[in-house]
A and B are shown apart, each in its own frame.
Chain A
Amino acid sequence: MPPGRDWPSIAHTCMTIDHVYWLFAATLLATSVMVTTARNPIYSVLFLVLAFFQAAGILVLAGLDFFALVFLVVYVGAVAVLFLFVVMMLDIKASELAERRARYLPVAGLMAVLLLAETLLLVDMEGVALGGVPAGLAAADWTGAVEPLSTIQAMARVLYTVYVGPFLLAGMVLLLAMVATIALTSTRGVSVRRQSVALQNRRDWARTVARG
């Protein structure tokens, strides 16, 4: 920029935080629609990754930085990669995917519209207090009395004290998932080569091929 010229006014050109929110939300919904309608499951997984990133962006803007990172680590790093592995492993034939999708559209649309209408009705009836703070409640100024904590500090304070039972149960769920997955997929099949320690220890050195 040559000297003597002003910078353009930031207030008119810059996006506000609300615009960023709307950008993340709109991209989240668009990518999730693409997840459900993409022909190729690979594209579905990649759009799923993009949707998780948008959700993490929304959480960052809401001040939940720890959960945004957890979303990225767990969802993108574990779940989406797992899906990617399975999609690439399973070798789904293209003929199975070429189907008349319109057959299911009435049922799917009916379910979607019903659930949306029910939930909106419920929110409209029950969520009155969520819409705005009543006038009497917002009068007290608590900002001086509140101890500022980061999300992870606040989580740690309640996770190991109040919610220690659910926390242990979550650990058990993860352990169960790990054991179940290993037990399901490790088969003593013909195509899996395994190491037999006893057989190796019994082996005669003189009769092996590789010597010296």
Chain B
Amino acid sequence: MDFFALYSTALILFVIGLFGVFANRKNIITMLMSIELMLLAVNLALLLAGAFLDDMAGYVFALLVLTVAAAESSIGLALLVVYFRVRGGVAIDFITLLRGDPRAPHTAT
């Protein structure tokens, strides 16, 4: 198996994740899942490069990326749950608290 084919697989997976972040502007959960895909692609590239170059640093940093991915998803989803509890919705168009937008419909009165 060519290393470049696998590396390109990881690269295309990363691009698909980036595309998903930009294409799903309404759905924050799908955006988070796309970020998970991007982290998976980085992990895959690190692991395969480590296997190809016989370098343990790739494995170690893949483990670190895995840790950060788990922490990121847990904290992000906790923030999402808290936001949903406070405002009653997680539609991205209405997350405009910092803008001071009065048209936000999720305002809990």
How big is chain B's contact interface, by range?
35 or more
Interface residue tally for chain A (C-beta within 8 Å): 81
A residues in contact (CB < 8 Å) with B: 17-18, 21, 25, 28-29, 32-33, 35-38, 41, 44-45, 48, 51-52, 55, 58-59, 61-64, 67, 70-71, 74-75, 78-79, 82-83, 86-87, 89-90, 92-93, 96-97, 99, 101, 103-105, 107-109, 111-112, 115-116, 119-120, 123, 127, 130-131, 151, 154-155, 158-159, 163, 166-167, 169-170, 173-174, 176-178, 180-181, 184-185, 187, 189
B residues in contact (CB < 8 Å) with A: 1, 3-7, 9, 11-27, 29-30, 32-34, 36-37, 40, 43-44, 47-48, 51-53, 56-57, 59-64, 66-75, 77-82, 84-85, 89-91
Q: A177 — nearest CB in chain B belongs to which residue?
A: B71
Query: In the docked arrangement, what's the CA distance between A62 and B3, Å?
Result: 10
Query: In the docked arrangement, what's the CA distance between A187 and B62, Å?
Result: 35
Query: In the docked arrangement, what's the CA distance between A52 and B51, Å?
Result: 19
On whether the beta carbons of A79 and B69 are closer than 8 Å, the reply is: yes
Residues of A contacting B34 in the complex (Cβ-Cβ under 8 angstroms): 35-36
Q: Indicate which residue in B36, B62, B75, B90 contacts A180 across the interface (CB closer than 8 Å).
A: B75
Known contacts A115-B15, A116-B11: does B77 contact A44 (CB below 8 Å)?
no
Q: Indicate which residue in A55, A111, A115, A176 contacts B40 across the interface (CB closer than 8 Å).
A: A55
Known contacts A105-B23, A151-B59: does B12 contact A116 (CB below 8 Å)?
yes
